[in-house]
Structure 1
């Protein structure tokens, strides 16, 4: 059975909006403020995560964003990401933009998010990782479909912007599984649902 893993870069106050400053958010670009040492450590961690991933689950906009940036890249990390199967939640597209180098074009999940993702978890084994895709992440969290949260916390407070946990209708108890420093300034936190507190 597959596990849904949300892997996000977040600010200290939980903002996920416009990390690279390309979306026009006045406080965007916070991701780019890290040091070279932090960037190298972060990239190493991301490569390790990609190697342990079975498939990617994305929203339509994130699929388009990643396709425009990663399909032309080379190297171990890009090769791994480009080769992974992609599943895109969307009612408006027929095929994912970010194709797989292994010949698996990807699959669009056009129906009800809860039903589609539940079926995908039954179909696949291993980690199904969600990058970016904030609206999708909100829906998955809301319907208790997330098996693990991996948060790389950047040492900046923005005070405004879309947050990962903006839209939960009830409290969701989580259990801290791991914590570590990445480079000199980033914190990596892993959480899982705390079944004993529900």
Structure 2
């Protein structure tokens, strides 16, 4: 049975929007601005460890296109090791989209049907962790439909006051259980929560 793991970076007030500043959000770019070299080294090591232990990657169309454009152009991601990049490229990927026909990735499958049914089937099919990067519209659906099992959140030391948050649109309370917390580098905090399924 698969385990859906949402893995995200966020500001202290929960903003996940435009961490690299490429989306045009006026407060974007916070990922690079408020932490040092050791923070990024330790963050990268955590990302690599997580990717190596996962069985698959689940994304929405826009996040899939963003990752594919960077990974397949040869630019990669300078913050994370080639081991991480190679794992992401080779890992089975599932892209939720009703419009995408060619996901550009190797080893990628488009899930074009009803999201709850498709993801439920994916959880039955995959044995192990299914990581979700970015994909905040999909993430909200996974949380709302009680399909998410775990939330891993790296919190950056900045408050923006406005911007898109993971939990902006829940229809009811979503209890979580704190599993672990640790410091990453000198300025980042890493939280692991399990979703409490009622």
| TM-score calculated relative to the size of structure 1 | 0.94
1:187 corresponds, among 183, 186, 189, to 189
**Paired position in structure 1 for 2:156:** 154
1:54-82 CA-to-partner distances (Å, cap 9, x unmatched) read 00000000000000111224821111111
The aligned runs of 1:19-38 (5 Å cut-off) are 19-33=19-33, 34-38=35-39
Shift of 1:122: 0.4
- Structure 2 runs not aligned, ≥5 long: none
Distance 1:169 1:76 in 2: 39
1:45 corresponds to which residue? Answer: 46
Question: 4+ residue stretches of structure 1 with deviation over 4 A?
Answer: none
For normalisation by structure 2, the TM-score amounts to: 0.94
Q: Deviations over 1:106-135 (max 9, x none)?
A: 110001110100000001100000000000
Name the Cα RMSD after superposition.
Answer: 1.0
Q: What pairs up with 1:164-175 in 2 under 5 angstroms?
A: 164-175=166-177
For the 8 Å contact 1:87–1:96, the answer to whether it is kept is: no
- The answer for unaligned runs of 5 or more in structure 1 is none
Supply the distance in 1 between the matched residues of 2:61 and 2:55 (Cα, whole angstroms). 19
Q: Where does 1:1-198 land on structure 2 (aligned, <5 Å)?
A: 1-33=1-33, 34-71=35-72, 72=74, 73=76, 75-97=82-104, 99-100=105-106, 104=107, 106-195=108-197, 198=198
